[in-house]
Structure 1
Amino acid sequence: KGQHNEDKQVFIREVPGGCMCCVAGLPMQIALNQLLSEAKPDRLLIEPTGLGHPKEVLQVLSTEYYRQVLSLQKNITLVDARKLADVRYTEHDTFNQQIAIADTVVGNKLDLYQTGDAQKLEAYVAEVGRPNTKVVFAKHGVIPFTEFEGETTIHEHPPHHHHHHASDKPLASEIPMPKEGVVKAMNEGEGFQSIGWRFSPQKVFDRERLVRLLVGIRAERMKAVFITQDGIFGYNLTEDGLSESELDECMETRIEIIASSVDDNIEKQLLQCIIAQH
């Protein structure tokens, strides 16, 4: 499903399926071809998420067809250097692959680092990455545009086959909202579970009760937008805590959680935060 901002000339298209290694075949190519045809972009950004396999994506983009259409620029990998203290990351193949294929590694959240964290990232990239991999640091994900410019030094051979285990089920965002006003979607892979909900805009949440619930969630990541009695708010939960930002509008309430294990009671607790239905 695509989104188009006429004013900013930005097109966004989601790719259905699980991890990007699964969808680097036909689903990604269909979405990519549609996007190239409709948007005719000057620049295309592909973000495979923290659980994605960029090598497989690069292999698809290295086929003869795409070489005639696209000029592959730098691969950027965003890393929180503090994660290097956690063996769940340093021993994870996907985490290391994302560093190994990077032209530039961006050490994000620099303002939250302790003494020595930045140096540890530089040393780790020197060990796992390529000899010419550049390391830069950023706060709040602000990266100079110049870091994206220039051809990539990473060249992957086109794939001979794909291991398709992605399902043909539609994106959760495309499922029609049932009369009860709740849609639930689940996925898993790479040792993590993903679970999300959509709530119809008629369901209004108690903001105070909601924040108490969200701040207690134990997860690698949680992102959400909620319609509350005080307005519309976006929420982002990381190991650094819960952040809240007021938004102008949204189509409906949405929340997604990524964790090694998701609490079975979350849905019940979310429903208990609903105070009204318009």
Structure 2
Amino acid sequence: MTSSAIIQNIPCTLVTGFLGAGKTTIINQLLATKPADVRWALLINEFGRIGIDGALLKGRQNDVEKPNTIAIREVSGGCICCTSQLPLQIALTRLLSEHRPQRLIIEPTGLAHPHELVKQLSAPHWQTSLSMQSVITVLSGLQWQQEKYRSHEGFQAHVQAADVVIINRYEQLDATCQQDLLTWIGTLNAQASIIWAAPNDASSELTVAQLSMQLNQPSASISKQRATQSSQSRISLTLPNHLLTNMPNAGNSAAMTMDDEPPYRYHDEQQGMLLAGWRLPSHWMFAADELQQWLLQLPNWQRIKGVVHTSDGWQQLNFTPDSLTITTTSAQIDSRIEVILLANTDNSHINSKVSKNERQPLIDWDVYDHELMALLAK
């Protein structure tokens, strides 16, 4: 059975944006506009291979007080637009067939190539299933102020693919800088509409109303596209010897490394970024303050996300260079941490040996494994 035979013309909105731009806030605002009796679905493509946002959102999905509010499916382990098209096709087909949503929102990873994703969704087999609405791109004014972002090809690509650009975190920009930002956007995409997100008010009625309008605006970017028609390593982990006797079920740690069972760590490289993630048993408890300090000392980090069992309870971590957010959350089936570092960083943890065919130094991830294990609460 094809997806087109299952459902037709479902409104679909892409919410893109570079790492740390604030896509989650915008998606929450969009979700706030959902009528209670309408089925929506959210497809999340996380930058890492573990899946943190989806794990947390699934808890809300099963909220007994708000049943059947939104169906969620996640595609982890790399960008759905630069890997093969198969993960995207499978995820979308299952989402449409199993949940039959009346509206779909897709959040690609911040490392996505939006043009490639638009190209995939412009394929003939999706044209009858999906009615593509405005491509919404979230842009952080704080990021734009920094040359390393403005000149980054991936940062620019999100703006180039947009129908509408949502500018947030711009409060520190004076009037001249704000005009320069508009000019910069115009040089990349003169057709894009601009929305200035209401500062410090995630529930702003004006912002929500403007966003809601975009859910029913056909995408000019995708219409134009239709008209023209990594390496990964997964490493199993074990506790350091001095903790083996103090942790429950520690003797079974070797057996826990089979398939997708924790504990393990992966690492990858995409678009000049180094990615790593740890998935760990839920009964492993980390010293909260020490874990946060360790994460913030990672070299030239660009994004840190996690849901972790700590000495202060279960915590959700969401760190960007512009904001550090720590919130309490319910107990999870395991702890998960994912980080993104710039590949050209320099730190004492970095292995300085660079082959002739490599421009970037290599991270000694084993060192980080040992340091992280040392943070387990005794």
Equivalent pair of 2:233/2:266 in contact (CA under 8 Å)? no
DSSP-derived class of the 1:225 partner: strand
Amino acid at match of 1:216: Q
Aligned with 1:22: secondary structure?
coil
Shift of 1:71: 0.6
Q: Does 1:260 align with 2:342?
A: yes
* Correspondent of 2:305 among 209, 223, 228: 223
Which residue is 1:94 aligned to? 154
Between the aligned partners of 1:248 and 1:140, the Cα distance in structure 2 is 26
Deviation at 1:185, TM superposition (A): 1.2
> 1:144-198: per-residue Cα shift (whole Å, max 9, x none)?
24243311111213898xxxxx67999x9xxx94289521011211111110101
State the alpha-carbon separation in 1 of the partners of residues 341 and 256 from structure 2. Answer: 25
Deviation at 1:240, TM superposition (A): 2.3
1:1-278 equivalences in 2 (<5 Å): 5-6=61-62, 7-23=67-83, 25-111=85-171, 113-116=172-175, 117-139=177-199, 142=202, 143-144=207-208, 145-146=211-212, 147-154=214-221, 155=223, 156-157=225-226, 177-178=256-257, 181-217=262-298, 218-261=300-343, 263=349, 264=364, 265-276=367-378
Question: What percent identity do the matched residue pairs reach?
Answer: 29
CA separation of 1:259/1:158 partners in 2, compared to 1, >3 Å: closer, same or farther?
A: farther
SS in 1 for 2:319: strand
Tell me, in whole angstroms, the C-alpha distance in 2 between the residues paired with 1:158 and 1:274: 55
Q: 3-state SS of the aligned residue for 2:107? A: coil
Match of 1:163 in 2: none
8 Å contact 1:19–1:189 — kept in the other structure?
no
Aligned amino acid, residue 308 of structure 2: F
Q: In the alignment, residue 72 of structure 1 is paired with which amino acid? A: M
Shift of 1:90: 2.4
Question: Judging changes above 3 Å, is the alpha-carbon distance between structure 1 residues 223 and 140 closer, same or farther for their aligned structure 2 residues?
Answer: farther
CA distance in 2, matches of 1:214, 1:150: 41
Larger radius of gyration: 2
Shift of 1:64: 2.1
- Structure 1 residues 9, 210: closer, same or farther in 2, change over 3 A? same
Deviation at 1:38, TM superposition (A): 0.9
Code of the residue aligned with 1:194 in structure 2: it is L
Q: Give unpaired runs (5+ residues) of structure 1.
A: 161-165
How many Å apart are 1:68 and its aligned residue? 0.7
Q: How big is each residue's C-alpha offset from its partner over 1:98-127, in whole Å with a ceiling of 9 and x where there is no partner?
A: 10111111112234x232443332221111
Letter of the structure 1 residue corresponding to residue 155 of structure 2: F
Partners of 1:57 and 1:254 in 2: CA distance: 27
CA distance in 2, matches of 1:258, 1:168: 14
Q: Determine if contact 1:103/1:153 at 8 Å carries over to the other structure.
A: yes
Question: What is the TM-score with the length of structure 2 in the denominator?
Answer: 0.63
Q: CA-to-partner distance for each residue in 1:182-231, whole Å, 9 max, x for gaps?
A: 21011211111110101101101111222222232331110111101221
In the TM superposition, what is the alpha-carbon distance from 1:133 to its structure 2 partner? 2.6
CA RMSD of aligned residues (A): 3.0
Structure 1 residues 127 and 250, CA, compared in 2 at 3 Å: closer, same or farther? same
| Aligned equivalents of 2:232, 2:272: Cα separation in 1 | 21
Contact 2:160/2:188 (8 A) holds in 1: yes
**Which sits farther off after the overlay, 206-215 or 250-259?**
206-215
Distance in 1 separating the partners of 2:119 and 2:145: 31
Aligned length: 266
Distance 1:93 1:208, change over 3 A: closer
Alpha-carbon distance between aligned partners in 2 of 1:269 and 1:105, rounded to the nearest angstrom: 40
Give the secondary-structure state (helix, strand or coil) at the position aligned to 2:291. helix
